[in-house]
Amino acid sequence: MTPTSASQYYNQEIIINHYNYTGKYKDNPSTDMKLTSIIFIIICCFIVLENILVLLTIWRTKKFHRPMYYFIGNLALSDLLAGAAYTANILLSGPHTYKLTPAEWLIREGSMFVALSASVFSLVAIAIERYITMLKMKLHNGSKSSRSFLLISGCWFLSLILGGLPIMGWNCILQMSACSTVLPLYHKHYILFCTTIFCALLIAIVILYARIYFLVRTRSRSLTFKRNLERPCRSSEKSMALLKTVIIVLSAFILCWSPLFIFLLLDVGCKVKTCPVLFKAEYFLSLAVLNSATNPIIYTLTNREMRRAFLKMACCTHCSIFGSSSKVKRPIITGMEFSRSKSDNSSHPQKDDGEYPVTLMSSGNVTSSS
């Protein structure tokens, strides 16, 4: 890592030189926005609105003021910022890129890395929290909030460090031969470092959810045998429902992120101007950003109570926009609606095993019907 002098961060010629070296420089770039860029911006706006609704749902519903929902809220916040950061990235790209100083360019790209890193770290934190909860076989109460906030703080701290490394000196401003083609001011070693971390996180998520599934399956079968239930197949049904949720969670993450991981590894391995596919980075990055649109569906709408609260919030927001405020005078979600729900009775230790996956996997399909 070569220290970069402060003056280099404000030299606009560096941007042009680096883009010209990697083959990305265009003499007369079009000022018109591409159709693909417009589509990506529309998707990002949807991501922002979708995650705002998730945050409002959690904030307006006292029932969701619990550690597990704090993690889902943190994931929604990071996904919201990812959508906003990618929108800003698109608007500042094209001909606007050559007007940026290296410092501004590093902030533009760094904000994307921070938001996407926070989203990935949030997914890991959710997996860790669910695994610990499953290991102890009890729902969290208020005394466990400290661990939740510690994990959430750790997510953002690590994301800021990871995204801030280039502007702190780990760049190729003074080493043009080591520059990335996709991100011309980023050092290839930094790209490799980030990709390695993200791949390790992917493996960690797979291992944690596999462990959760086997723990739930083993303990559910044990309780079924001990209690001699009338429906012995219920344990198998719940295990299959949980397995489906695990597959959905992991499939969405792998499908959205693995193409970008492979793309970045290709960027590290290819010599300059030898891999034409490296000039199509927006498609691979947008696929990773698309994961921010699927996260609310997987982690929010698959939870029965969260889905009901989310849909009510969306409906009431729609009504208020079209001037139907006279029909919406009560709070979005009242505490009485869910006051008798099983998952809210965390003070009772003798909870049925079928309830744990609700908190663990955010899936209404795994709930007990007893």
Q: What pLDDT, in 10s, does the model give residues 207-266?
A: 998 888 888 777 766 665 555 554 545 555 655 666 677 788 888 888 999 999 999 999
CATH of the domain at 73: 1.20.1070.10
- Report the SS3 class of residue 83: helix
Angle at 287 between CA 282 and CA 289, to 5 degrees: 90
In a domain, residue 272? The reply is yes
Among 355, 287, 294, CA closest to 75: 294
CB of 153 closer than 8 Å to CB of 194: no
Q: Is 66 domain-assigned?
A: yes
β partners of residue 187: 179
In a domain, residue 346? The reply is no
| Tokens standing for residue 142 | 């208020």
Dihedral, CA of residue 274, residue 276, residue 282 and residue 283, to nearest 10: -130
Confidence of residue 107 (pLDDT cuts 50, 70, 90): very high
Give domain status of residue 355, yes or no: no
**DSSP code of residue 271:** P
From residue 85, how far is each of 88, 320, 335, 368 by CA, in Å?
Answer: 5, 28, 35, 41
The verdict on residue 52 lying in a domain is yes
Expressed as residue numbers, the domain containing 168 is 10-226+236-320
Degrees, nearest 5: CA angle 16-22-27: 45
Using a 10 angstrom Cβ sphere, with 0-12 exposed, 13-18 middle and 19 or more buried, the burial of residue 197 is middle
| Most confident region among 37-46, 232-241, 360-369 by mean pLDDT | 37-46
pTM: 0.78
Q: How far apart are CA 185 and CA 166, in angstroms?
A: 8
**pLDDT at 130 exceeding the cut of 60:** yes
Angle, CA 347 vertex, CA 54 and CA 228 arms, to 5° = 100
User: b/e for 131-156, b at 16 or more Cβ within 10 A?
Assistant: bebbeeeebbeeebeeebeebbeebb
Phi, psi of 56 (to 5 degrees): -65, -40
Contact yes or no for 108/89 (Cβ under 8 A): yes
pLDDT tens for 145-198 read 788 889 999 999 999 999 999 999 899 998 888 999 999 999 999 999 999 999
- Domain total for the chain? 1
Could you tell me if residue 339 is inside a domain?
Answer: no
